[in-house]
A and B are shown apart, each in its own frame.
Chain A
Amino acid sequence: MMKPTSEAELAGCVSELKTPVQVQGGGTRGVNGPGDVLSTTGLSGVTLYEPGALTLVAQAGTPLEDIVAGLAAENQRLAFEPMDHRALLGSDGAPTIGGVVAANVSGPRRVQSGACRDFLLGVRFVDGQGTVIRNGGRVMKNVTGYDLVKLMAGSWGTLGVLSEVSLKVLPQVETEATLRIGVPDAATGVQVLSAGLGSPFEVSGAAYDPVAGEALVRIEGFAEQVAYRVGKLRDVLGQIGAPDTVEYGEKSERIWVNIRDVAPFHGQAGDVWRMSVKPTDAPGIAARLEADDLLFDWGGGLIWARVPAGTDLRARVGSFSGHATLVRASAETRARLGMFHPEQPALAALSRGLRDRFDPRGVFNPGLMDQVVEA
């Protein structure tokens, strides 16, 4: 394992690479390919934190735990609520902020606040030739030149190795509540979630748990706000689903940690897929999956599916608008089906062009993101 301790050392390391490497932060998110590991965990520490400006800059290998604790001390948080993959994937290690960014990991609050990429203000990274590149900065509005910041978010290490990231953070909320609404089926569940998200009451979480037969709707804010909105939403959503119960504070928090981390799938055998779809398409698509287990987040727009090992879920569901990512499977299945959804040829050509320019020698996670739809 290579573990440089400064950006300059990282750049030197990359420029001397002779064979492909696996770029890795904490190694908790299930990317295991061939090749030596290039770890960013030697690049650690918060470089700048200005609570009054809602900005935090940290080296890529900084443990997520440290960042979350530092923010909590100032009553702030990462609003995009990144998932912890460890229990689902059976991985260990400490997630890093660079890993969160590289995988664009976003939790239930995606529906209201945005994804990780929406909170990323700036990056520093080392490209495939060992050149240090900076883009964006640490201010909230920045349209100076092309937005490589977004490009790096969710590029899974295939374009460069992140050395530093700059993030917008938000204040913690005073309190939260979750409405649990009984629904007979997925279609009604999504209908409840759509009504909640389409209301003026700033729903910050919208999930459907088919096992419990419940639509879950989260509200956050000042105590008076939450009480008022719970009342209003009960009226609106109670007309679609069955009379509800409301969980407050820690009980509500636990519900959303479980959804974020797909807790119902923990310890269950089989492959795990994650599909991004149009919310109202979700019930129909889910019915075609013949899954052993399902969980719906993002108002229905995110489907988690557990299926027997080796299942080609994309073939099973057929054509749909959106994409499916293979999150947990054997190395053989991963190699056969590809982790990421194959892209249309015109789009794939652009993506390949970018990878060829940023990593011309193909040393970073080769093959991870280059599936193309066969003509």
Chain B
Amino acid sequence: MEMPTPNPAILSRKARLVERLLQVLPVESVIHDEVETRAYECDALTAYRCPPLVAVLPSSTQEVSDVLRICHEEGVPVVPRGSGTSLAGGALPTADCVILGVARMNDVLETDYANRIIRVQTGRTNLSVSGAVEEHDFFYAPDPSSQLACAIAGNIAMNSGGAHCLKYGVTTNNLLGVTMVIMDGTVVEIGGAHLDASGLDLLGLICGSEGQLGVVTEATLRILRKPEGARPVLIGYDSNEVAGACVSDIIKAGVLPVAIEFMDRPCIRACEAFAGAGYPDCEALLIVEVEGSPAEIDAQLAVIKGIALSHDPVELREAKDADEAGRIWLGRKSAFGAMGQINDYMCLDGTIPVTALPFVLRRIAEMSKEFGLDVANVFHAGDGNMHPLILFDANKPGDLETCEAFGAEILKLCVEVGGCLTGEHGVGIEKRDLMLHQYSAADLEAQLAVKDVFDPSWLLNPAKVFPLSVTRNRRAAQMAAE
């Protein structure tokens, strides 16, 4: 993966930069020792590493503003970082950058149950947002699998999703307001506790902009009352086509399950070996979960079971109690761990129209043979967000490259059938060079124009999202201005 050559002029000015940062931050918030900066050398895309020039850990919006103003004046690139759980390399540093970590900013600023909002500093982890309102039986809906560790800042940057978005939407649907600092240090307030922000939808634009438009320091999030209960049903089929048709029929029937998860045979076997959840050995497994009171759940599951039976399943198992529900989810929730035990793996997250599911699974199986690497599929079927896990051996020379080439072909396939490169992980560096498969030069130019407006000197997370060839002139203009 190519990253831009570090700017030697910036490297040579490290001492001055550190000195200026220390004028606005306490000494423990500025990390510049070469051993210590290594803690920030990568995110969850661990195949790529590069220690930053400096890492700073501000503790207020004012400090974030000061840091950005200084870096802007010094012409130093800034890479914002939440908890560093990006699977796409969204927080990968360059050697000439300042990592701006918001992890110390993790306070709850306001909880308001009458208006159903919580206001937090964005270094707070996703799960601890729900934790802060749990005693009142409320929760924050977007639930990425990394929710124990990932920060709201990163969720906003990547517009994170989760298993329950079929019903509750993704981050952008649950974000009502932000305090954001743009690259020149200006603090802007957008939205608030009201349901729609005024003027152009800048909130929608910022969410998912991968830390390239500004650093969000505070967020107003929608919170919801927890449902009375939830219950899953497990349905096994001997063909992916039939499982796909079942998903489509459930959706059409007017039941809105909170989750529809899909696992294929390689994934079922690995999970079974790892967790012993009692899954049947079949081609495709669906876990469908509905919410409500016990009677409401019965009524919804009756509809779902009727549809499932009309497709002649090899297994149909409804959870009778919490213990059985736990076991149905156990395998699915341990899927990534199970894969990690077998092998190194790369996790993709292309999205496809639900109707293209059987075709895409068949093609992935064919490509798996061509590339000589196994792949297991586990994904959110209700919204078409796939998670193919390609297994490879990091110690075997060339295997990572083959895996990446295979992954790129799967993502191109997703685009060809009418889908997209990434449903919830973001582009980062990982899918940067595939952007021209999804968008024309003019489509990308419109996106670059947005960055020009928020960050005219192209200093915020500059080498991400777009192919380097497309952004070269803009980044070079900045270097030349030095």
The answer to whether A binds B is yes
Chain B contacts for A354, CB-based, 8 A: 200, 450, 453
- CB proximity of B295 to chain A, nearest CB, Å: 6
- Among A63-71, A196-204, A207-215, the stretch that binds chain B is A196-204
Chain A contacts for B452, CB-based, 8 A: 357
Write the B401-443 contact mask toward A (1 if CB under 8 angstroms, else 0): 0000000000000000011111111110001000100111011
A172-194, CB < 8 A from B: 172-174, 191, 194
Does A145 contact B439, Cβ atoms closer than 8 Å?
yes
Chain B contacts for A344, CB-based, 8 A: 188-189
Chain A contacts for B158, CB-based, 8 A: 143
Write the A224-235 contact mask toward B (1 if CB under 8 angstroms, else 0): 110010000000
Known: A139-B383, A141-B385, A153-B204. A110 touches B165 (CB 8 A): no
Does A133 contact B443, Cβ atoms closer than 8 Å?
yes
At the interface, yes or no: A328 with Cβ under 8 Å from chain B?
A: no
At the interface, yes or no: A118 with Cβ under 8 Å from chain B?
A: yes
At the interface, yes or no: A32 with Cβ under 8 Å from chain B?
A: no
At the interface, yes or no: B9 with Cβ under 8 Å from chain A?
A: no
At the interface, yes or no: A270 with Cβ under 8 Å from chain B?
A: no
The residue of chain B having its C-beta at the shortest distance from the C-beta of A225 within the complex is: B296
Known: A118-B169, A358-B446. A145 touches B427 (CB 8 A): yes
The residue of chain A having its C-beta at the shortest distance from the C-beta of B192 within the complex is: A321
A128 to B263, CA, bound (A): 46
- Among A50-58, A85-93, A260-268, A286-294, the stretch that binds chain B is A50-58
Known: A52-B252, A150-B172, A351-B200. A141 touches B296 (CB 8 A): no
At the interface, yes or no: B256 with Cβ under 8 Å from chain A?
A: yes
At the interface, yes or no: A244 with Cβ under 8 Å from chain B?
A: no
Known: A141-B351, A321-B194. A135 touches B202 (CB 8 A): no
Does B440 contact A134, Cβ atoms closer than 8 Å?
yes
Select B115's contact among A106, A280, A302, beta carbons within 8 Å: A280
Write the A272-307 contact mask toward B (1 if CB under 8 angstroms, else 0): 000011111000000000000000001001100000
- Among B48-56, B92-100, B224-232, B392-400, the stretch that binds chain A is B224-232
Which of A147, A159, A191, A222 has the most chain B CB within a 10 Å cutoff? A147
Give the bracket for the number of chain A residues in contact with chain B: 35 or more
A153 to B173, CA, bound (A): 14
A362 to B182, CA, bound (A): 25
Chain B contacts for A140, CB-based, 8 A: 165-166, 351, 383-385
Does B188 contact A346, Cβ atoms closer than 8 Å?
yes
Chain A contacts for B384, CB-based, 8 A: 53, 139-141
Does B115 contact A228, Cβ atoms closer than 8 Å?
no
Give the bracket for the number of chain B residues in contact with chain A: 35 or more
Chain B contacts for A81, CB-based, 8 A: none
At the interface, yes or no: A258 with Cβ under 8 Å from chain B?
A: no
Does A148 contact B205, Cβ atoms closer than 8 Å?
yes
Which of B195, B208, B228 has the most chain A CB within a 10 Å cutoff? B195
At the interface, yes or no: B253 with Cβ under 8 Å from chain A?
A: yes
Chain A contacts for B196, CB-based, 8 A: 104, 106, 110, 115, 154, 276
Which of B205, B300, B452 has the most chain A CB within a 10 Å cutoff? B205
Known: A144-B438, A346-B186. A200 touches B192 (CB 8 A): no
At the interface, yes or no: A343 with Cβ under 8 Å from chain B?
A: yes
Write the A297-319 contact mask toward B (1 if CB under 8 angstroms, else 0): 01001100000000000000000
The residue of chain A having its C-beta at the shortest distance from the C-beta of B293 within the complex is: A228
- Among B21-29, B277-285, B352-360, the stretch that binds chain A is B352-360
A199 to B114, CA, bound (A): 11
Chain A contacts for B435, CB-based, 8 A: 144-145
Chain A contacts for B197, CB-based, 8 A: 323
At the interface, yes or no: B170 with Cβ under 8 Å from chain A?
A: yes
At the interface, yes or no: A8 with Cβ under 8 Å from chain B?
A: no
Known: A117-B204, A172-B254. A277 touches B354 (CB 8 A): no
At the interface, yes or no: B292 with Cβ under 8 Å from chain A?
A: yes
The residue of chain B having its C-beta at the shortest distance from the C-beta of A357 within the complex is: B449
Does B205 contact A347, Cβ atoms closer than 8 Å?
no
Chain A contacts for B353, CB-based, 8 A: 50, 53, 55, 138-139
B241-257, CB < 8 A from A: 248-249, 251-256
Which of A150, A228, A322 has the most chain B CB within a 10 Å cutoff? A150
Chain B contacts for A141, CB-based, 8 A: 161, 165, 170, 351, 380, 383-385, 423-424
At the interface, yes or no: A369 with Cβ under 8 Å from chain B?
A: yes
Chain A contacts for B427, CB-based, 8 A: 143-145
Which of A133, A139, A151, A369 has the most chain B CB within a 10 Å cutoff? A139
Chain B contacts for A54, CB-based, 8 A: 251
Chain A contacts for B249, CB-based, 8 A: 52
Select B201's contact among A52, A143, A154, beta carbons within 8 Å: A154
Chain B contacts for A279, CB-based, 8 A: 114-115
- CB proximity of B101 to chain A, nearest CB, Å: 22
The residue of chain B having its C-beta at the shortest distance from the C-beta of A149 within the complex is: B204
New A-B contacts (12) at CB < 8 Å, excluding given A52-B251, A140-B165: A53-B354, A110-B196, A131-B446, A140-B383, A141-B384, A151-B201, A154-B196, A171-B254, A200-B225, A278-B115, A321-B194, A355-B200
The 4 lowest CB-CB distance pairs between A and B, nearest first, are A150-B204, A52-B248, A141-B423, A323-B198
27 example contacts (A-B, Cβ-Cβ < 8 A) are as follows A52-B251, A52-B252, A52-B355, A114-B173, A117-B201, A134-B439, A135-B446, A139-B352, A141-B385, A143-B159, A143-B422, A144-B438, A145-B438, A150-B205, A154-B196, A154-B200, A171-B251, A171-B253, A191-B114, A198-B138, A222-B303, A225-B292, A323-B197, A344-B189, A346-B186, A351-B199, A353-B454
